[in-house]
Chain A
Amino acid sequence: MRALLLRDLRLAMRAGGGFGLGLAFFLIVTVLVPLSVGPRTQLLAEIAPGILWLGALLACLLSLDRLLALDWEDGSLDLLATSPLPLEMVLGVKALAHWLTTGLPLVLAAPVLGVLLSLPGAGYGWLVLSLAVGTPALSVIGMFGAALTVGLKRGGLLLSLLVLPLYVPTLIFGAETARRGAVGMEAETAFLMLAGITLGAVALLPFAAAAVLRVNLR
């Protein structure tokens, strides 16, 4: 299990692993928004939490089609499915590796990019907290979508269409937590909802993904 995690991290770091892809996309979106909106600090500060959350979500979405497709193409997925490791655990660990290489860098980069969007000072803590708690849900939901579409040629578009509606609750409560934090309102309720969504997704979706993948490997 540890070996699988280390392998996925190593693959992401090596050439062509796509480690920086999500981060670079996040950077581009948040750097370009102030340029397109213009020098209106007040407006930027208001939309900053929403922009940061949307950027993080789309950056995550961008990396999903590599999640299982590469392992499927080279036959690793067949071999993992016939190994003594439970498939649920394999997918859970792969989702964790995806979060460590995609979600975590976004969480760490968000406060720096918040400055570009003149995010109010009170918002930084809630922004980082909401992203740290919300992005794991994006990875496991993405894993479920990837398991549904594995084996389809150019399944990326279908994957995005399937996953986007499932991302909506995370986006709503994540961005709401960050927004309320930024304007100094009580943010705990939205934050607890976000945490609930993440916990539910992490607990259930590896099983759903494994069940779907078993059907898809046939």
Chain B
Amino acid sequence: MSLTVSDLTVARGGAPVLEGVSFTLPDGAALVLRGPNGSGKTTLLRTIAGLQMPLEGTIEGAEDRIAYAGHLDGLKPTLTVAENLSFWASVFGAHDGIDAAVEAFNLKGLTTRAAGALSAGQKRRLGLARLLVTSMPVWVLDEPTVSLDQSSVALFADAVRAHLAGGGLALIATHIDLGLEGEVLDVTPFRARPRIDPVFEMDLS
């Protein structure tokens, strides 16, 4: 099932940030979001992930199929790498695939280490490995490559390619070129026009 976003207006703190965003993402496709800082990529992704309501427009094919990865990895520092992964696996109702995820992000020697003792890049790798164990078809990723080194970025790109080859979808906001053969959507043209608050307008009359 594809992901369809039609005529979406998203707001941050009540003020519209992007408006009229429409796209359809078929199975096995990736869409890379681009735009300068503060252009609304994160707000758009959080809205599609269901963390906030759209002001206008509809999102189809996202509910309960999403694995979201934001700026924070959702890791508990006192749990080990393996415990963190198996927790998220069971939350998403999946139980196998932990070994494969550990393998894919080169975390093999770290499974018994507490997540708090990992470096920033290792934490990020663990946070991304979480995507694999969720076995959700739609990946919504906000700046996934922050603090990753080049070889880890390559591992991540491989994981996304494998996900797409398996019929999954990926929506990625990033500033670097991952070498994916996906569409690129620049969000800048969708920037919302300033609106007059209807309540404020009434006050004037």
Contact = CB atoms under 8 A, between A and B. Distances in A.
B71 A79 contact: no
Interface residues of A, number: 24
B68 A3 contact: no
A218 B76 contact: no
A218 B11 CA distance: 10
Interface of B: 49-53, 64, 66-68, 70-79, 83, 86-88, 90-93, 130, 134
A83 B37 CA distance: 27
A11 B88 CA distance: 15
Interface in A1-38: 2-4, 7, 10-11, 14-17
A17 B78 contact: yes
Contacts of B64: 84
B40 to A, nearest CB: 14
B78 A11 contact: yes
Main secondary structure of the interface of B (DSSP, over half): loop
B87 A217 contact: no
Nearest to A71: B74
Contact of B51 (A3, A85, A217): A217
Interface string A84-102: 1100000000000000000
Contacts of A11: 76, 78-79
Contact of A79 (B78, B88, B93): B88
A211 to B, nearest CB: 13
A217 B52 contact: yes
A84 B92 contact: yes
Given A11-B78, A75-B71, A84-B92, 17 more contacts: A2-B90, A7-B76, A7-B79, A10-B83, A11-B79, A14-B78, A14-B79, A15-B78, A74-B72, A75-B72, A76-B76, A78-B51, A78-B68, A78-B74, A79-B70, A82-B51, A82-B66
Nearest to A7: B87
B91 A4 contact: yes
Given A15-B78, A74-B73, A79-B68, A84 B93 contact: yes
A217 B47 CA distance: 11
A84 B88 CA distance: 11
Which applies to chain A's interface (DSSP): helix, strand, loop or mixed? helix
Contact of B74 (A2, A16, A79): A79
B72 A78 contact: yes
A80 B91 contact: yes
B74 A76 contact: yes
Contacts of B66: 82
Contacts of B78: 11, 14-17
A15 B78 CA distance: 7
Contacts of B134: 83
A81 interface: yes
Contacts of A3: 86-87, 90-91
A78 B70 contact: yes
B14 to A, nearest CB: 9
Contacts of A218: 51-53
24 contacts: A3-B90, A4-B91, A7-B87, A10-B79, A11-B79, A14-B78, A14-B79, A73-B72, A75-B71, A75-B72, A75-B74, A76-B74, A76-B75, A78-B68, A78-B70, A78-B74, A79-B74, A79-B130, A80-B91, A82-B49, A82-B51, A82-B66, A83-B134, A218-B51
Given A74-B72, A74-B75, A83 B51 contact: no
Contacts of A4: 87, 91
